[in-house]
């Protein structure tokens, strides 16, 4: 199989879909790798490193590629150069891809969106959302510590004691749990909240204090499949009051809540922001989907009465070397599912992972979420 790795065109995107380590593995498996010039430079991987790993460097091979690998969704101009029937894999942002479906279907491309990797045991090594969210949660705390401008841990000195930073993480998914762990490593006093009762034990295991109205409704707020149930208005009001009083005492708040295909829910109101003391920091990790705080703006730090509200829309790109390495390994783990016995491009559409990730195929849109309406 001939695989072409794209150089990302986005000004804020420093990641790359293959690193020299994974290039060696793929070439060892019999594949041909072509890297667009400068594709890995922003992540610390020069063209020479790819050549040493066995890849060739060219920006004129899209027309002969069996598989095109990128980080973000390729442009219409790029897709127009890809040969008919080829595969395109990456973080294709499926919830906003409808306007681009014609570009894929016109070339009969197999669009494989890594966001739709199913959450099953067999697919864990392919789960790019988790690998990238893990690093995003870590980086969110590092950004918060820099903006906070004070020490995170308690320090006892001859001149006096420095109090530890109080850090509140809203959402205990992959990003939230890593944020909790990182803040704890830096010496902060950490608390967290989540709508799933099972998250309480996870938060506690990392040394955080769980904040929630733990009444009977909360204890029954999870389905057999592990998803959160819709809470009553009465419960939501009680939880909001508890959250508001807790936020007012915090130095750092990190929000992580996202709902697939929908705008991010509001977790922190303007009044909550104004209740925090000057010098406090809010990191809104959901800013790219509208934000968990109405005051946050993408890739800006907004000052609200001395409280810094920061929205970083692409935190993984701020750790480009590591995030690229993990993403590249996710792709390597997935590749056998679209490779035939003789190494050719031959997707196994009977495999549930391939079926879940496929957005378009043979000139048609095949993913159920994109055919609705």
Residue 171 DSSP SS3: coil
d(CA 226, CA 150): 38
Catalytic-labelled residue, pool 119, 122, 150, 262: 119
Annotation marks residue 130 as catalytic: yes
Residue 131 near residue 114, CB atoms below 8 Å = no
Annotation marks residue 127 as catalytic: yes
Catalytic-labelled residue, pool 56, 64, 76, 124: 124
d(CA 219, CA 202): 15
Catalytic-labelled residue, pool 58, 122, 205, 227: 227
Residue 295 near residue 271, CB atoms below 8 Å = no
Catalytic-labelled residue, pool 66, 127, 194, 322: 127
d(CA 57, CA 319): 24
- Residue 345 pairs in a beta bridge with 339
Distances (CA, A) of 175 to 50, 182, 367: 31, 11, 27
- Residue 361 pairs in a beta bridge with 364
Residue 295 near residue 309, CB atoms below 8 Å = yes
Annotation marks residue 227 as catalytic: yes
* Sign of the four-CA dihedral 296, 129, 201, 152: negative
Distances (CA, A) of 308 to 208, 290, 293: 23, 18, 12
CA angle 139-261-227, nearest 5°? 80
Q: Which residue numbers are catalytic?
A: 119, 124, 127, 130, 227
């Amino acid at each position: 199989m001939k695989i072409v790795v794209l150089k990302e065109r986005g000004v804020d995107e420093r990641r790359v879909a293959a690193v020299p380590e994974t290039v060696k593995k793929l070439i060892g498996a019999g594949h041909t790798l072509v890297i667009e010039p400068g594709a890995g430079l922003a992540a610390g991987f020069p063209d020479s490193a790819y050549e040493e790993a066995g890849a060739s460097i060219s920006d004129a091979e899209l027309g002969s590629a069996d598989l095109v690998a990128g980080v973000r969704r390729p442009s219409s101009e790029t897709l127009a150069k890809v040969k008919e029937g080829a595969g395109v894999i990456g973080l294709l942002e499926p919830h906003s891809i409808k306007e681009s479906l014609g570009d894929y279907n016109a070339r009969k491309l197999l669009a494989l969106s890594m966001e739709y990797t199913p959450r099953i045991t067999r697919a864990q090594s392919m789960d790019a959302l988790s690998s990238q969210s893990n690093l995003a949660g870590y980086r969110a705390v590092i950004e918060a510590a820099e903006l906070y401008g004070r020490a995170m841990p308690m320090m006892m000195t001859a001149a006096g004691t420095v109090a530890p930073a109080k850090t509140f993480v809203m959402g205990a998914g992959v990003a939230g749990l890593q944020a909790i762990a990182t803040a704890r490593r830096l010496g902060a006093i950490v608390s967290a909240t989540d709508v799933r009762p099972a998250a309480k034990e996870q938060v506690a295991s990392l040394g955080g204090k769980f904040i929630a109205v733990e009444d009977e409704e909360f204890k029954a707020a999870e389905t057999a499949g592990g998803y959160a149930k819709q809470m009553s208005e009465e419960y939501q009001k009680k939880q909001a009051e508890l959250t508001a009083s807790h936020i007012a005492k915090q130095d750092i708040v990190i929000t992580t809540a996202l709902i697939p295909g929908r705008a991010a829910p509001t977790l922190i109101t303007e009044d909550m922001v104004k209740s925090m003391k000057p010098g406090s920091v809010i990191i809104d990790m959901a800013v790219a989907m509208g934000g968990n705080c109405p005051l946050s703006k993408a890739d800006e730090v907004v000052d609200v009465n001395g409280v810094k509200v920061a929205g970083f829309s692409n935190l993984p790109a701020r750790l480009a070397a590591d995030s690229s390495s993990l993403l590249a390994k996710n792709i390597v783990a997935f590749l056998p599912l679209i490779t035939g016995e003789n190494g050719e491009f031959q997707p196994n559409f009977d495999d549930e992972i391939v079926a879940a990730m496929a957005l378009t195929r043979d000139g048609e849109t095949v993913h159920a979420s994109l055919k609705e309406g």
